[in-house]
Chain A
């Protein structure tokens, strides 16, 4: 293994390139968020003078704080509902035979590939007619729908790995199918459910098209839309610093998820799409 150390150096270099690739755009926005107003247009990658003013500024804006609350609330509620509904459906698809199963699988696949813009105009009209326009449920409903295929595929992939003999044993001990589901399968499936929840949360957190189309005020506008609409704290200030600071705040939950649950996210992403 004499050439081993040389190959290790090559791999380390390749790894470094990958890290630079992934991190530079993120570090750049972090850098911008700490720049002072007079150095923000200096084009330097590292701030020449540091400040927290940009962060103080966005939190003084009702527009942003309410958008952050909307983003968090809508993403969490959508995630919980999508995962609960998706778990039920994925269990039924993976384990039970019932009429309409093939249709459900086919249709949810269709939605996974569906162009969201095609739903925007009818949903805009319908949600205004039924009073859901610019409300939390008006965004939560489409989020659940578009998260369901992801949830169903990821979960049914995880459900395949579960030792089903345990369910059979529970049934032999007199448990009903529902009890077997609740008492045996749910605890075993919890890691898969958790992984799915992360993926669904990232999806909801990320959405821009529905949020910008189906909201209009701070009642339900989410943070990505608020950032896109930033015009600066005063009419003379360029909003660059505020946008950068808000962007960093939106990235923090993603970084936390990635650092803590890297393995799960990779497993979830690949199991749903490839093992199928």
Chain B
């Protein structure tokens, strides 16, 4: 990342500035102390609110711990994991989550790329378009989810009115999933488009002109030049959105509340905690979701060579 490479560049310059060795190490020590002081609050709060609870979640997941019978808490080993992984609810939720993630990210990528290309080229109302697409990004997910829910409610909704009489899409598994995916796509395509637009700005215009001169059509220019040049931006956008989509919760909670098997893994974890009051099982689900997310991130980074922002190897730009 450039932050890092800049910082190391600054470090490298420093020796030439310091007049004597003693002063130099004094300045170095001051700098280290200031750095630690400034970073400490962030580090402390991160440790308190994430690192410690994660460790605690792992510990909880190894306990038999039902909030209705707190006195019966006891060590259970991997029994909670066994219970979750052998349950059809987990695999149903996992399948639904993967399906929502893959389909919505795929649609978002195509739509987002089209939107980014349009915004990059458009001559008309550039500012207006950039403004309106921020509305889906900024709007509260619960609000948007209600808008879709009412739109698809028979009688109330303008979209349900387009369907044949007697169909209630939110009571049907397939239709519900399609609506959930639609709500996700609507909200997050603009974000994807903005990330891709920033990547698009790095594609040299001369190269495209030269390719056009050599007879490359628009499609060839897109697949042969634009997409390969944008690869780092694309991978970051896909990585971010995939991990984000995997934790889908708000839209499902409002649209179907997990009815007809439409619950995601986040819904399952939530329900185990607040409806079944089983902290042990709930924590095991939490840890499994965490592991799934880590695996997805690893796949992106190892297989596709996505360089996470902030990591050392992103300096190549």
Contact = CB atoms under 8 A, between A and B. Distances in A.
B76 to A, nearest CB: 15
Interface of A: 7-8, 11-12, 14-15, 18-19, 21-23, 25-26, 28-29, 32, 40-45, 85-86, 88-89, 91-102, 104-109, 111-126, 141-142, 144-145, 148, 152-153, 156-157, 159-160, 177-178, 202, 205-206, 208-209, 212-213, 224, 227-228, 240, 243-244, 247, 250-251, 254-255, 257-259, 262-263, 265-266, 269-276
Interface of B: 1-4, 6-8, 10-11, 28, 30-36, 38-39, 41-43, 45-46, 48-54, 56-57, 60, 115, 118, 121-125, 127-144, 146-148, 150-151, 155-158, 160-161, 186, 190-191, 194-195, 197-199, 233, 236-237, 239-240, 243, 246-247, 249-250, 253-254, 265-266, 269-270, 273-274, 279, 282-283, 285-287, 289-290, 293, 297, 308-312, 314, 317
Contact of B2 (A119, A266, A275): A275
9 contacts: A8-B124, A15-B122, A43-B161, A107-B46, A113-B243, A122-B54, A141-B49, A148-B45, A224-B142
A99 B36 contact: yes
A262 B131 contact: yes
A231 B280 CA distance: 32
B140 A45 contact: no
A266 B135 contact: no
Contacts of A120: 269-270, 273, 286
Contacts of B309: 109, 153, 272-276
Contact of B195 (A107, A153, A224, A274): A274
B197 A270 contact: yes
B115 A96 contact: no
A148 B42 contact: yes
Contacts of A113: 239-240, 243, 293, 297
B30 A177 contact: yes
A269 to B, nearest CB: 5
A171 to B, nearest CB: 10
A121 B127 contact: no
Residue of B45, B138, B155, B270 with highest tally of chain A CB at under 10 A: B138
A43 B186 CA distance: 21
B41 A88 contact: yes
B163 to A, nearest CB: 11
Contacts of B142: 208, 224, 227-228, 247, 250
Contacts of A91: 38
The 7 closest A-B pairs by CB, nearest first: A276-B309, A98-B35, A96-B35, A122-B53, A89-B42, A270-B198, A92-B38
Given A95-B7, A98-B36, 12 more contacts: A22-B133, A22-B135, A25-B136, A25-B186, A29-B147, A44-B158, A97-B32, A117-B249, A119-B286, A120-B286, A125-B56, A153-B310
Contact of A122 (B56, B134, B191, B285): B56
A14 B314 CA distance: 35
A19 B115 CA distance: 12
B238 to A, nearest CB: 12
A177 B93 CA distance: 53
